[in-house]
Amino acid sequence: MREAMRVSVCRQPKLRYIMENFVFHSPTEFVFGRDTQKDTGKLVAKYGGKRVLLVYGGGSAERSGLIATVKDALDAEGIFHTVLKDIQPNPTDDKVYEGIALCQEHAVDFILAVGGGSVVDTAKAVALGSCYSGDFWDFYAGKEQPQDALPIGVVLTIPAAGSEGSPNSVITKREGHHKISYRCQLTRPKFAIENPELTMTLPPFQTACGIVDMLCHIFERYFSNTPAPLVNAYSEAIMRDIMDRGLTLRLNPDDYEARADIMWAGTLAHNGLCGVGKVEDWASHRIEHEVSAIYDVAHGAGLACIVPAWLKFVAKSNPDMVWRFAINVMSVNPAGLSTEQIIDEGIALLKDFYHDLGLTTSLRELIGKEPDIDLLVKGLEGNMGKTVGGYVTLTMDDCRKIYEEAL
């Protein structure tokens, strides 16, 4: 029944552009499955690392014993290591400077990140800054282009940001709360170890935030005016699987198969595969980054508030892909419904899904007070300029309405 419905809507919406030329180069070696963290030393050696900066977060990887395992694996290969730890969510520039200083002091030639997006992104910024005589922030501020970076390896502990397979890193400059996403192919990791078992210690809230984030990484590419039927078809399959598996994990967090699907989906969502040939959007991310930069909330939790408000806003002027999403991903039965009703139902079901994950879709509730929308819009304009978005080009006034809708 569900399949039959999808076939009936597989005609393309009224897309306005032709498919773009593209280059897809994903050089990362992904090593997936149980016990794979034990191979860390061999993989670092394979990619030439002899002197390692080991980067990790606020303690979860120490408590689980993962850091001890990784250190043993490095020792077994005779690889020197020094540590940069206590990386916090929404990572800041101060830890990057600390890491660069450690690299210089210890002649580091390889950066090993053990953690999630915050740790991997810090590792990427350190990798860039260590090969540059100026201030690493020059790259994030768009003043300079890097020529080189230290090689990076990843042991992933939370499927969410997709940084293990992406060329992006997101760092916040403490002074002024500037949270900037910087894309640089030099920072794609050499390898990423993904053991789904390592994610079983995640609190349900972090699992949920990761699921919202990876879904949104596909949304940013799926909601596009460029036709790419094959890409849309596999993107829809990944989105449906993330939702199914996300609900499974809510009931049974130790389900290995579900953990495995979610982990691999997080990588596929953001390694570029879902965006090939398409003009991407990224407005939801830009709009959310101001929220997590200013109020220090989890990025995925911020997206759960912003995305439904963004969908509602863009559907008014460009309904086609939102309509398709409602039917093909949210499984709205279109029979007897108008386009507007189909879209409204799809957005309502998405919100229900976020609520089922235990997340709020209200900004006010998320930050525990009235958000300062003037400050959010000012920050967004300062970082992004006059407009954001590719599916619908949004002015700062439009973004203000989206923040208001998300309240």
Q: Which residues bind ligand NZQ (CB under 6 A)?
A: 57-61, 89-90, 115-119, 121, 157-158, 160-163, 166, 168-170, 198-199, 201-202, 206, 209-210, 213, 270, 285, 292, 299
Minimum gap (Å) between residue 87 Cβ and Zn ion:
17
From residue 205 to residue 244, the character string flagging contacts with Zn ion as x (rule: CB under 5 A) and all else as - is --------x-------------------------------
194 binds Zn ion, rule: CB under 5 A: no
Residue pair 246/350 in contact (Cβ under 8 Å)? The answer is no
- Subset of 379-398 contacting Zn ion (CB under 5 A): none
206 binds, among Zn ion, ligand NZQ, none (CB under 5 to 8 A by kind): ligand NZQ
Minimum gap (Å) between residue 169 Cβ and ligand NZQ:
5
3-state percent breakdown (helix, strand, coil) of the chain, nearest 5: 55, 10, 35
For ligand NZQ, give the closer residue by CB, 31 or 209.
Answer: 209
Distance CA 127, CA 124 (A): 5
Distance CA 306, CA 370 (A): 15
For Zn ion, give the closer residue by CB, 219 or 323.
Answer: 219
Angle, vertex CA 148, rays to CA 70 and CA 131, nearest 5 = 75
290 binds Zn ion, rule: CB under 5 A: no
Minimum gap (Å) between residue 41 Cβ and ligand NZQ:
20
267 binds, among ligand NZQ, Zn ion, none (CB under 5 to 8 A by kind): none
Collect all residues with Cβ–Cβ distance below 8 Å to 86 and sequence separation of at least 6. Answer: 57, 58, 95
For ligand NZQ, give the closer residue by CB, 212 or 326.
Answer: 212
For Zn ion, give the closer residue by CB, 93 or 213.
Answer: 213
What single string gives the DSSP state of each residue in 198-211? Answer: GGGGS-HHHHHHHH
What DSSP character marks residue 296? Answer: -
189 binds, among ligand NZQ, Zn ion, none (CB under 5 to 8 A by kind): none
Dihedral angle over CA of 232, 233, 236, 237, nearest 10: -150
Question: Quick check: helix, strand or coil at residue 346?
Answer: helix
Minimum gap (Å) between residue 170 Cβ and ligand NZQ:
4
Collect all residues with Cβ–Cβ distance below 8 Å to 195 and sequence separation of at least 6. Answer: 32, 33, 34, 35, 36, 37
Angle, vertex CA 383, rays to CA 382 and CA 388, nearest 5 = 105
164 binds Zn ion, rule: CB under 5 A: no
For ligand NZQ, give the closer residue by CB, 198 or 342.
Answer: 198
Minimum gap (Å) between residue 161 Cβ and Zn ion:
6
Distance CA 287, CA 351 (A): 18
For ligand NZQ, give the closer residue by CB, 166 or 232.
Answer: 166
Minimum gap (Å) between residue 187 Cβ and ligand NZQ:
9
Strand partners, 130: none
Q: Which residues bind Zn ion (CB under 5 A)?
A: 213
